[in-house]
């Protein structure tokens, strides 16, 4: 551990039920917001990715530079990863022509490589250790790839897998329920369960987002992408305001939360 482990507080929130509620809302907004720019405005996946990637770089730079936990800043960065993840996954799957399986496979390799490099460099991928700029870089890189992979997985199951948007949401919701059961009733690695749940909330949000804004003939509810995005953004702000937000436990504490 470096000096940050002794005197620097965590700048990421404690992982509570409220954390997961906001995370799912943020991933849903990522889907509707990303599609609004690339499809409704017709800017395309490459330009959309460039826009949202730029927003992500600016937001994550502010997050890393911050001296303490700022709830609205943290969740703004999460939303930035979900919108960038949406457009980047669509660029991989569609613009590059490698399909959902190829895109998901490539993104899975990138995610595992990031986690492997993080573990090899620092000896842990637990979120309880995210208290220095170096670890934050690994943390946000992992989140970006997990959001992008989650988008590809959601599209794969809903479209290629034939489950549809509502069916896909039920599948990923069920998978999250299994992870919750493992958390509460087994001694399975908390770090493994956290990252598994983090990845699964993204395709859940992606399928819910598609359910909201896709045409009725395609199995959606045909709500406007901008309208749905606006409602979700307001809901996220309300959740952050209403649900108590606190920084995670200090890594030296006995009350670990994610690892």
For the stretch 24-82, pLDDT in tens is 999 999 999 999 999 999 999 999 999 999 999 999 999 999 999 999 999 999 999 99
| Beta carbons within 10 angstroms of residue 241's beta carbon | 10
Alpha-carbon Rg for the chain, nearest whole angstrom, is 18
User: Which string of DSSP letters, residue by residue, matches 117-132?
Assistant: HHHHHHS---GGG--S
**Cα 228 from Cα 104, distance rounded (Å):** 26
pLDDT average, residue stretch 119-135: 91
Q: Please name every residue paired with 247 in a beta bridge, in sequence order, or none if there are none.
A: 13
For the stretch 184-237, pLDDT in tens is 999 999 999 999 999 999 999 988 988 887 777 777 787 889 999 999 999 999
Q: Which residue has the higher pLDDT, 6 or 62?
A: 62
Q: Please name every residue paired with 13 in a beta bridge, in sequence order, or none if there are none.
A: 247
Q: Whole-model pTM? A: 0.89
- Give the pair of three-digit tokens for residue 1: 């551990």
pLDDT at 251 over 60: no
Q: Are 38 and 45 in contact (CB under 8 A)?
A: yes
Phi, psi of 2 (to 5 degrees): -90, -175
Confidence of residue 23 (pLDDT cuts 50, 70, 90): very high
Q: Are 231 and 208 in contact (CB under 8 A)?
A: no
For the stretch 82-94, pLDDT in tens is 999 999 988 887 8
- Give the pair of three-digit tokens for residue 23: 């995370």
Which residue is associated with the tokens 């399975």? Answer: 188
pLDDT of amino acid 250? 45
User: Which string of DSSP letters, residue by residue, matches the chain?
Assistant: --THHHH----SB---HHHHHHHHHHHHHHHHHHHIIIIIS--HHHHHHHHHHHHHHHHHHHHHH-SS--HHHHHHHHHHHHHHHHHHHHIIIIIS--HHHHHHHHHHHHHHHHHHHHHHHHS---GGG--SHHHHHHHHHHHHHHHHHHHHHHHIIIIIT--HHHHHHHHHHHHHHHHHHHHHHS---HHHHHHHHHHHHHHHHHHHHHHHHS-GGGTS----HHHHHHHHHHHHHHHHHHS---BPPPTTSS--S--
pLDDT of amino acid 129? 86
């Amino acid at each position: 551990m470096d000096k940050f482990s002794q005197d620097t507080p965590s700048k990421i929130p404690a992982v509570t039920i409220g954390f997961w509620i906001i995370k799912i809302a943020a991933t849903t907004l990522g889907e509707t917001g990303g599609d609004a720019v690339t499809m409704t405005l017709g800017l395309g996946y490459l330009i959309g990715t460039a826009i949202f990637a730029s927003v992500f770089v600016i937001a994550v730079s502010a997050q890393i530079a911050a001296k303490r936990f700022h709830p609205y800043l943290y969740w703004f960065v999460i939303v930035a990863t979900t919108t960038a993840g949406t457009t980047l996954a669509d660029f991989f799957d569609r613009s590059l022509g490698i399909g959902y399986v190829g895109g998901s496979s490539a993104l899975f390799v990138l995610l595992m490589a990031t986690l492997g490099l993080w573990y090899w460099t620092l000896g842990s991928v637990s979120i309880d250790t995210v208290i220095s700029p170096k670890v934050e870089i690994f943390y946000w890189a992992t989140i970006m790839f997990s959001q992008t992979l989650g988008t590809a997985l959601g599209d794969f199951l809903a479209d290629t897998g034939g489950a549809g948007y509502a069916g896909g949401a039920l599948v990923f919701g069920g998978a999250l329920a299994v992870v919750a059961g493992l958390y509460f009733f087994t001694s399975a690695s908390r770090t493994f369960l956290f990252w598994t749940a983090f990845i699964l909330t993204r395709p859940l949000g992606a399928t819910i987002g598609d359910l909201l804004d896709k045409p009725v003939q395609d199995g959606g509810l045909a709500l406007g992408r901008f309208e749905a995005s606006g409602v979700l953004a307001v809901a996220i702000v309300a959740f952050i305001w209403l649900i108590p937000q606190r920084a995670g436990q200090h890594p030296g504490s006995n009350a670990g939360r994610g690892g």
